[in-house]
Structure 1
Amino acid sequence: MKLTASFFKEIRDLVLSARATVSRGVDLVQVHTCFEIGKRIVQEEQQGKIRADYGKQILKELSAKLCAEFGRGFSEDSLTNMRKFYLVFKDRQPISETLSRKSKSVRNQLITKTSKEKSETASRIFPEASSPFCLSWSHYVFLIGIRNNDERRFYEIEATSQNWTLRELKRQFGSSLYERLALSRDKAGIRQLAKKGQMVQKPNDFLKNPLVLEFLGLDEQTRYSESELETAIINQIEHFLLELGKGFLFEARQKRFTFDEDHFFVDLVFYNRLLRSYVLIDLKINKLTHQDLGQMQMYVNYFDRYV
């Protein structure tokens, strides 16, 4: 069974419509286009009774024709990703109207929108979508490689709410953010992570255990000083704030305060705007002692009373 002219025309019209809109600054349309292409490929395969050899032949012929007319971007691997994208997210109601019939409305409504407004407008333009797509196609290509549905949903929510770049999404996944947050939660809490992302309701919700600081770029050594670790954190403060989590602002390094005529210095002082509270970090390289804990408690008590 060969590629039919009508099937190729449907895919071709989708690509033409999407390119016309994306050229005017609408990135979201590419994601919906890939979803629709994946859907049509699956439907065409089902007509061929889902024979593996037929599916491969469809992708090969479709890729050749699309690449001949539109150039790069439609390799067999790319079409396979679109097919997988549809299969992974098909629980989100499919777009019933083709983009060719939507393109004029999309152009008028999305061109000047911010990212948040794009998502809201997309919900109106595609009312059938129970959970609109809000990330770039590159984000979704990465997300469909995550097998665990709850974990995938968590990273999609966090990437959307925290405005993660693809690079930051990959770093957070590589640092096992989902697993680290799940360690401190019961089954109900883990399910909430998948449905709502990281919800901040109490101080413990901010904690990641452990923190992953590979971005500091420290050379392999048998020993570091506390000042070297502190300097490395300051040099990568933006990444460190992202690793700490939501709502953190950096205030000071070696924050000095005086108590009972003695001077003390807190290594790093942050403020969390969601907790409306200071967060103090005292860096220790060696094993934590009771004296260290007593000193840190004194720091906390001072900030509670006087700052």
Structure 2
Amino acid sequence: MAEEKNIEKRWKYISLAIENKWDKRFLKTQIKENVADKYGAMPSNFGVTIKDSRDAIKALNMFKDEYLLDFINTEEIGIRDLADIDERVVEQEIIHNIKKFIMTFGRDFAFVGNQYHLKAFSEDFFPDLLFFNRELNCLVVVELKTGDFKPGYLAQLMTYLRILDDKVKKPHENPSIGIVLCKNANKDFVEYVIQDYAKPMGVATYRLSEEMPEKLREALPDVEELKKLL
């Protein structure tokens, strides 16, 4: 693993690669993006909402503070000339690579559904993405947001988590976890406002690869359109 000189990080990457079944190409990307420093850095309230401290540490180390959405590859699409990029082609590639999008979150995640229907007192709700994590033994709901973090997103998650725990969670499962995935977030502010919420939640950010051609990045649908494709 010549790309990473730090011994501790090299062992961490080896562990992550084995746990997540990363191939060589994906591992090189993770090293280049320095993801070893991103695990365990996501602002959350896990320490005060997850009763078992071991489970809290597991949850904190399960998520990154930033996710790179770089699963679009021009060679795989078959485009030789960037001028030929078509939004419809890109959208189809996103659908084709939806598994890579899901696997971005890491090990032991199973996809449950998108726009998952929740209902309580005749009120309907549709959280964006719902997973189940075998290691944490709990449901994980993810809300995709196009812009900066807003405190209201946490209140939205609280509603989803309450309904999930009351109506969807199995008796042997742990309480559900909520993640806001947005474009930008002030970590200090998130840590400040999230501690008073009674359900386990965290806030992470996403970005596109800087090496992705500008024209391709422009052709990518925004998060709202991505949710429709999902």
TM-score by length of 1: 0.41
Where does 1:167-246 land on structure 2 (aligned, <5 Å)?
167-181=25-39, 183=41, 201-216=57-72, 235-246=96-107
Larger radius of gyration: 1
d(CA) in 2 for partners of 1:233 and 1:259? 33
Give the CA deviation at 1:175. Answer: 2.5
Give the aligned residue type for 2:148: K
Instruction: Sort the Cα spacing of 1:233 and 1:261 in 2 relative to 1 into closer, same or farther, 3 A.
Output: farther
Q: Is the 8 A contact 2:40 2:61 kept in 1?
A: no
Structure-2 change in CA distance of 1:163 and 1:283 (3 Å): closer
1:112-165 Cα shifts (integer Å, max 9, x gaps): xxxxxxxxxxxxxxxxxxxxxxxxxxxxxxx03421111222222332343322
Q: 1:305 & 1:259 partners in 2: Cα distance?
A: 10
Query: Equivalent residue for 2:180?
Result: none
Question: 1:279-294 maps to which residues of 2 (within 5 A)?
Answer: 279-294=140-155
| 2:15 is aligned with 1:154 | no
| Structure 2 gap segments, 5+ residues each | 43-54, 75-90, 169-230
Work out whether residues 272 and 278 of structure 1, in 8 Å CA contact, stay in contact via their aligned partners in 2: yes
| C-alpha RMSD over aligned residues | 3.3
For 1:277, the equivalent position in structure 2 comes to 138
Deviations 1:164-198 (A, max 9, x none): 221121122122211212646xxxxxxxxxxxxxx
> Matched residues in 2 for 1:179 and 1:145: separation?
15
Separation in structure 1 between the aligned mates of residue 98 and residue 73 of structure 2, nearest angstrom: 13
| Equivalent position of 1:56 in the other structure | none
Q: Higher RCO, 1 or 2 (CA under 8 Å, sep at least 6)?
A: 2
Give TM-score scaled by structure 2 length: 0.53
Whole-angstrom CA distance in 2 between matches of 1:290 and 1:258: 23
Instruction: Give the deviation of 1:237 after TM superposition.
Output: 2.8
Amino acid at match of 1:149: I
Once residues 40 and 60 of structure 2 are traced to their aligned partners in structure 1, the CA distance between those partners, rounded to angstroms, is: 12
* Structure that is richer in helix per residue: 1
The structural deviation recorded for 1:200 is: 8.9
Structure 1 residues 175 and 240, CA gap change in structure 2 (3 angstroms): farther
Q: Secondary structure at the match of 2:127?
A: strand
Q: 1:257/1:181 Cα in 2 relative to 1: closer, same or farther (>3 Å)?
A: closer
Q: Decide which structure has greater strand share.
A: 2
- Checking the alignment, whether the CA contact within 8 Å between 1:266 and 1:299 is kept in structure 2 is yes
What are the residue-to-residue correspondences of 1:12-91 with 2, within 5 Å? none
User: Relative to 1, partners in 2 of residues 1:176 and 1:289: Cα closer, same or farther, differing over 3 Å?
Assistant: same
Find the aligned partners of 1:205 and 1:211 in 2 and give their Cα distance. Answer: 14
The count of aligned residue pairs is: 143
Closer, same or farther: CA 182–202 of 1 in aligned 2, 3 Å: closer
Query: Within 2, Cα distance between the matches of 1:214 and 1:268?
Result: 19
Deviation string, structure 1 residues 195-229 (Cα, Å, up to 9, x no partner): xxxx99531121101111122469xxxxxxxxxxx
Structure 1 stretches (4+) deviating beyond 6 angstroms? 230-233
- Which residue does 1:305 correspond to in 2? 166
Contact 2:39/2:62, CA 8 A, preserved across alignment: no
In the alignment, is the contact (CA less than 8 A) between 2:127 and 2:141 conserved in 1? yes
Tell me the percent identity. Answer: 27
Instruction: State the 1:297 CA deviation.
Output: 0.7
Distance 1:183 1:271, change over 3 A: closer
